[in-house]
């Protein structure tokens, strides 16, 4: 038996979310999730945020905030990076009452037409990770069923974007040139570490999943180009957060 045979929908989980948390009355159904500490700090600084829960992960506490913006109420949190961690947190937020998730974070680009800060909307994610195989039957890709809806919202907001497949991998230091070329040939223009995992978990749990990515480092050339990946100033962070808020308003 290998990881691609791990999906089991015929028996129940031994450890269930209800064993560790309880639903929170009035928990916002729409949840904004980022993987960027600087962008999350911007959100907390710019908008009224009340702490409503804290998840006690093995690495660090994960605070959950209620964000009130122009009559809209959202939950928001800073996710840990990587499919297993992102899905574990997401499962518990579903347990609190989250029903609609908007994830956003940086991505590596496989096509230099996607510049730093450019928005990419994944239509499907290649399952080069392990978590998704516990939530969906084996297949090369997991489809992102909400991609068209998110594209419509970005068009209304007059925000340029790229519709593309994504390559989700667990191993950033094993993104080989051969695998990169295979993914590009299949239509992947970006690479990330969570999309296939979180999308699969959302499908299995019956919640809405939206994802947009913004271009960061480039793998398109002969040598890796970090571009702004190592930039700690995050000059464009506010604009990305504001975009996430405008999208979240339209998902309710």
Half-sphere exposure of 128 (CA within 13 A, CB side): 21
* The token pair that represents 107 in the structure block: 């991505």
Helices vs. strands in the chain: H and E counts, helices first: 6, 10
Q: Is residue 137 pLDDT above 70, yes or no?
A: yes
In a domain, 10, yes or no: no
Tell me the pTM. Answer: 0.94
Residue with tokens 């590009």: 184
In a domain, 13, yes or no: no
Total domains, the chain:
1
Pairwise pLDDT comparison (167 vs 118), residue with the higher score: 167
- Note the pLDDT tens digit of each residue in 147-202: 999 999 999 999 999 999 999 999 999 999 999 999 999 999 999 999 999 999 99
Q: Radius of gyration of the chain from Cα atoms?
A: 18
Q: Is residue 233 scored above 70 in pLDDT?
A: no
Residue 50 resides in a domain: yes
Q: Report yes or no on 2 lying in a domain.
A: no
Task: Report the candidate in 90, 74, 61 with the shortest Cα–Cα distance to residue 27.
Answer: 74
Reported confidence tier of residue 229, pLDDT bands at 50, 70, 90: low
Give dist(CA 101, CA 111) in Å, integer. 27
Residue 149 forms part of a structural domain:
yes
Tell me if 115 is assigned to some domain.
Answer: yes
Q: Please give the residue range of the domain that contains residue 211.
A: 26-229+236-249
Of 203, 165, 163, give the one whose Cα is nearest residue 186: 165
Task: Say which residue, 61 or 155, is predicted with more confidence.
Answer: 155
The residue-averaged pLDDT of 5-12 equals: 92
17-51 pLDDT, tens digit per residue, is 999 999 999 999 999 999 999 999 999 999 999 99
Instruction: Give the number of C-alpha atoms closer than 13 A to the C-alpha of residue 221, restricted to the C-beta side.
Output: 10
Q: What is the CATH number of the domain that holds 95?
A: 3.40.50.1580
Provide the token pair at 110. Answer: 């496989």
List b or e across 8-26, with b for residues whose CB sees 16 or more CB atoms inside 10 angstroms.
eeeeeeeeebeeebeebee
Residue 4 lies in a domain: no
Specify whether the CB–CB gap between 162 and 119 falls below 8 A.
yes
Predicted local distance difference test score (pLDDT) of residue 224: 84
Mean residue pLDDT of the chain comes to 93
Looking at the domain assignment, is residue 15 inside a domain?
Answer: no
> Please, which pLDDT band fits residue 113 given cuts at 50, 70 and 90?
confident
Contacts of 124 (CB under 8 A, 6+ apart): 141, 142, 143, 144, 165, 166
Q: Which of 50-59, 62-71, 206-215 has the lowest mean pLDDT?
A: 50-59
Residue 128 above 80 pLDDT? yes
Percent of the chain with pLDDT over 90: 82
Instruction: Please say if the pLDDT value at position 235 is more than 60.
Output: no
């Amino acid at each position: 038996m290998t990881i691609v045979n791990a999906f089991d929908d015929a028996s129940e989980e031994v450890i269930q979310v209800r064993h560790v948390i309880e639903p929170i009355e009035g928990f916002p159904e729409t949840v904004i999730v980022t993987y960027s500490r600087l962008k999350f700090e911007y959100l907390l600084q710019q908008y009224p945020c009340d702490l409503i829960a804290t998840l006690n992960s093995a690495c660090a506490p994960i605070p959950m905030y209620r964000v009130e913006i122009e009559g809209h109420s959202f939950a928001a949190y800073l996710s840990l990076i990587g499919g297993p961690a992102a899905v574990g947190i997401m499962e518990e937020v579903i347990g609190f009452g989250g029903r609609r998730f908007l994830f956003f974070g940086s991505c590596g680009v496989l096509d230099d037409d996607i510049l730093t800060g450019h928005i990419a909307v994944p239509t499907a994610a290649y399952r080069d990770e392990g978590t998704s195989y516990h939530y969906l039957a084996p297949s090369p890709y997991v489809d992102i069923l909400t991609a068209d809806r998110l594209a419509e919202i970005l068009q209304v907001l007059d925000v340029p974007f790229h519709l593309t497949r994504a390559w989700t991998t667990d191993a950033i230091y094993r993104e080989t040139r051969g695998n990169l070329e295979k993914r590009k040939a299949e239509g992947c223009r970006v690479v990330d570490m969570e999309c296939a995992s979180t999308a699969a978990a959302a499908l299995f749990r019956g919640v809405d999943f939206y994802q947009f990515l913004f271009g960061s480092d480039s793998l398109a050339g002969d040598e890796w180009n970090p571009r702004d990946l190592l930039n700690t100033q995050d000059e464009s962070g506010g604009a990305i957060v504001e975009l996430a808020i405008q999208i979240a308003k339209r998902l309710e």
